[in-house]
Amino acid sequence: MGHIRVRPFSPQDLQRVIWINRNCLPENYPGLFFMSIYESFPKTFIVAEDEEKEEIIGYVMGRVERGFSTLKSYKLTKKGHIVSIAVIDEYRRRGIASHLLKEALEGFREYDATESFLEVRKTNIEAINLYEKLGYVVKKGLPGYYRDGEDALLFTRPL
Ligand SMILES: CC(C)(COP(=O)(O)OP(=O)(O)OC[C@H]1O[C@@H](n2cnc3c(N)ncnc32)[C@H](O)[C@@H]1OP(=O)(O)O)[C@@H](O)C(=O)NCCC(=O)NCCS
């Protein structure tokens, strides 16, 4: 394993990011969805690359949404939504997802978002630990959120 570089996504990374998404997560998206996020929010679509192998080994993808605050009642605000994050198996537990997420949070701030939120399967302990470590707290449960019927937890944090 070589040195890991974290940098913005670029369109030539698309096929590899789709491959990582399909291999790591049950929630998959068409290429056009990834590209539309990149076109609207390039600062919050970040990849991690093994510089020696010149290979992408993880990504995070986020977008900014307008809506009611998850932190303050009845306040309309801009919220940074973490849509998808994954690191391939061989590279896990080395702080790479944490680094990706921190970069995405910085990108959200640059888009003037005031808070960040995300959904996670309630059995996904690795991801739940990661989000708690980065300051997210559970806002509420989302029963039957996923296609297979599993519940989600909605996590949120100020920016
Ligand atoms: C969740 C995921 C992105 C974490 O990636 P990672 O690069 O291994 O994460 P990090 O090394 O930055 O870990 C940060 C913290 O997360 C938690 N964590 C990560 N992997 C864990 C594991 N296997 N068991 C328990 N806690 C874990 C720990 O608190 C860890 O901090 P520590 O290593 O100091 O204890 C990765 O496991 C993954 O891609 N999983 C499949 C895709 C997925 O579930 N995505 C999230 C969907 S909501």
The domain ranges of the chain are: 4-118
Q: Which CATH number fits domain 4-118: 3.40.630.30, 3.40.50.150, 3.40.50.300, 3.90.1170.20?
A: 3.40.630.30
To test the ligand 1 pocket, which listed residue (24, 84, 92) has its Cβ within 8 A of the most ligand atoms?
92
Does the global pTM surpass 0.95? yes
The pLDDT score that the predictor gives to residue 13 is 98
> Region 76-80: what's the mean pLDDT?
96
Q: Is 80 helix (H, G, I), strand (E, B) or coil?
A: strand
The pLDDT tens digits of the residues spanning 95-105 come to 999 999 999 99
Centroid of ligand 1 to alpha carbon of 9 (angstroms)? 21
> Which residue lies with its CA nearest to atom 35 of ligand 1?
93
Centroid of ligand 1 to alpha carbon of 4 (angstroms)? 16
The pLDDT tens digits of the residues spanning 105-158 come to 999 999 999 999 999 999 999 999 999 999 999 999 999 999 999 999 999 999
In the predicted model, is pLDDT for residue 73 greater than 90?
no
